[in-house]
Homo-oligomer: A and B are copies of this chain.
Amino acid sequence: MDPETEFIDQIALFAALLCGCIVIGHLLENSRWINQSITALLIGLGTGGLILFTSGGKSSRILEFKQEFFFIYLLPPIIFNAGFQVKKKQFFRNFMTITSFGVVGTLISFGIISFGATRLFPILDIGYLEIKDYLALGAIFSATDSVCTLQVLNQEETPLLYSLVFGEGVVNDATSVVLFNAITKFDLSDMDLYIALEFAANFFKLFSLSTMLGVLVGLLCAFIIRTLYFGRHSTDREVALMILMAYLSYITAEVFGLSGILTVFFCGIVMSHYAWHNVTHKSQVTTKHAFATMSYIAEVFIFLYVGMDSLDVGKWRFVNDSPGKSIWASIILLVLIMIGRATFILPLSYISNLIRRDRNEDIGIKQQFVVWWAGLMRGAVSIALAYKKFTGSGQTIQPANALLITSTITVVLFSTIVFGLLTKPLIRRLLPQSSQTEPSSPTSSTTPLLENGHDDPENGNQGTLRTKLSLSMLLNSPTTTVHYYWRKFDDACMRPIFGGSGFVSYATGTRDMDVIH
């Protein structure tokens, strides 16, 4: 069979499996245990097993996973959609807590996993690992995957909890990838204070530049659509421009060695805040759902692939001699993950509660447990980072590297399936009120934020803010105050230029007739 025909066969099988995942995921929607990710993972495992069986143990995959494929095509739509659909009011209200969990927390988690691995792995006698490898391990296993938990949490009933888990998930993704890139690029062989400081400076430079680039591209897109009045001629062109500019922001960040994830996330936020209000009503509906759909397909694709790939014999060959080591390594990593999360959730929640002062918004012990639990799962980002680090140019031939790959797969499979299956019953027990309603929004399973994502700022937050603002409040809640001044600035300077809800531009006169429904 020539490679082209084979490739077409592979794509056909993969497309069929994706369709199967969607249908079965739909049928299991109301199940007590299973969710979409686990479904895809199990279908992937099943298919992998079947291929392994029919090929006589030679192969378990249809397509070969290239980590570039993941980072270039699958991750951008997921992260962009996360930014685009995020409930901005909640996100920015809890901005400090989210950032502290997502950045400081991830760094603490990273430190504990790296340190623990440095101490415990030599006992296993798995072969020599450099300091860089341990640090990379820390970064790989601090990348959480909170999709499972988000599917169970109810945004309307527990808005604070939801925004914490969601926000931490996104910022955590970005932090761990930035961290990972910083580690692989830096020479950390002889660590001293100077190098550590330089590393930290580099990390923050990456962080801020990436954010700025995303904001800039988002604003540019809003500006172009607004000034050139795109809706006049074509809805499709508006949608196409938004998709392409979002992707452009991601790929430009990658070209300049920045974090595409952060860039495209902020690009999504800015686009939904400005550009989205400049397009026709039809484009608004289309972009909302089309972005969510792309993200959904990418997510199912990843879990399906991870399931199929985890049975790949090539990776397990080197572990055959010492299966015990791989299992012990996985257990160590799982324990370190649990300790790492506990170490930062408790103190950071305590600090956050101190700063907030509003007792109604306290993060209680049950909520802390849910946040902790939500971040225990490991997913596609960990797999992709591990592949990037420990495979390629024949590196898997080294036993230590092969073992780390298999341990990563084990941790991802175990945490997604076992922890994932426990999530629904556990959260319903902890947060009993959420058990009365449907677990997921009727209109969108992956992004329950969808419907209310673009809230009108005119008749919500701002009115109450203006009347309540006083000196004591300014001292008590710095975040809210920052939010108030941002709103003022936004109304006075940004929205007249870039558009946004409440500012009907001449360009979208037609849109607003549509919008009355």
Q: Which A positions have Cβ atoms within 8 angstroms of B?
A: 4, 7-9, 11-12, 15-16, 18-19, 22-23, 25-27, 29, 68, 72, 224, 228, 230, 232-237, 239-241, 243-245, 247-248, 251-252, 254-255, 280, 282-283, 285-286, 288-290, 292-293, 296-297, 300, 440, 442-447, 517
CA distance A12 to B72 in the complex (A): 11
B-chain residues with CB within 8 Å of residue A27 when the two chains form the complex = 228
Selected A-B contacts with CB under 8 Å, 30 pairs: A4-B68, A7-B72, A8-B72, A8-B251, A12-B252, A15-B244, A16-B252, A19-B241, A19-B248, A22-B240, A23-B224, A23-B241, A27-B228, A29-B233, A29-B234, A232-B442, A233-B445, A235-B289, A235-B292, A235-B443, A236-B293, A237-B445, A239-B293, A240-B296, A240-B297, A240-B300, A280-B443, A286-B290, A286-B293, A290-B293
CA distance A393 to B162 in the complex (A): 56
The answer to whether A289 touches B254, judged by C-beta atoms less than 8 angstroms apart, is no
B-chain residues with CB within 8 Å of residue A252 when the two chains form the complex = 12, 16
B-chain residues with CB within 8 Å of residue A443 when the two chains form the complex = 234-235, 280, 282
| Nearest CB in chain B to that of A255: its residue | B12
CA distance A515 to B423 in the complex (A): 37
B-chain residues with CB within 8 Å of residue A8 when the two chains form the complex = 72, 251, 254-255
Partner pick for A15 among B251, B280, B444, B446, CB 8 A cutoff: B251
| Nearest CB in chain B to that of A15: its residue | B248
The answer to whether B233 touches A26, judged by C-beta atoms less than 8 angstroms apart, is yes
CA distance A180 to B415 in the complex (A): 51
Q: 10 extra interchain contacts, Cβ-Cβ under 8 A, other than A29-B233, A283-B289?
A: A12-B254, A22-B241, A26-B237, A234-B442, A239-B293, A240-B293, A243-B293, A244-B297, A286-B290, A289-B290
CA distance A422 to B254 in the complex (A): 43
The answer to whether A292 touches B236, judged by C-beta atoms less than 8 angstroms apart, is yes
**Contact of A244 with B68 at beta-carbon distance under 8 Å, contacts A8-B255, A15-B251 already known:** no
**Interface residue SS majority, chain A:** helix
The answer to whether A234 touches B286, judged by C-beta atoms less than 8 angstroms apart, is no
B-chain residues with CB within 8 Å of residue A7 when the two chains form the complex = 68, 72
CA distance A443 to B243 in the complex (A): 18
B-chain residues with CB within 8 Å of residue A293 when the two chains form the complex = 236, 239-240, 243, 286, 290
| Nearest CB in chain B to that of A241: its residue | B22
Partner pick for A517 among B19, B224, B230, B517, CB 8 A cutoff: B517
The answer to whether A228 touches B289, judged by C-beta atoms less than 8 angstroms apart, is no
CA distance A215 to B191 in the complex (A): 65
The answer to whether B234 touches A444, judged by C-beta atoms less than 8 angstroms apart, is yes
Partner pick for A296 among B68, B236, B282, B289, CB 8 A cutoff: B236
CA distance A18 to B444 in the complex (A): 30
B-chain residues with CB within 8 Å of residue A446 when the two chains form the complex = 234, 236
CA distance A224 to B23 in the complex (A): 8
The answer to whether A282 touches B282, judged by C-beta atoms less than 8 angstroms apart, is no
Partner pick for A19 among B232, B234, B239, B244, CB 8 A cutoff: B244
B-chain residues with CB within 8 Å of residue A442 when the two chains form the complex = 232-234
Task: Tell me, rounded to whole Å, the shortest Cβ–Cβ distance linking A232 to chain B.
Answer: 6
The 3 A-B pairs with the shortest beta carbon distances in the complex, nearest first, are A286-B289, A234-B445, A290-B290
CA distance A15 to B252 in the complex (A): 9
| Nearest CB in chain B to that of A25: its residue | B237
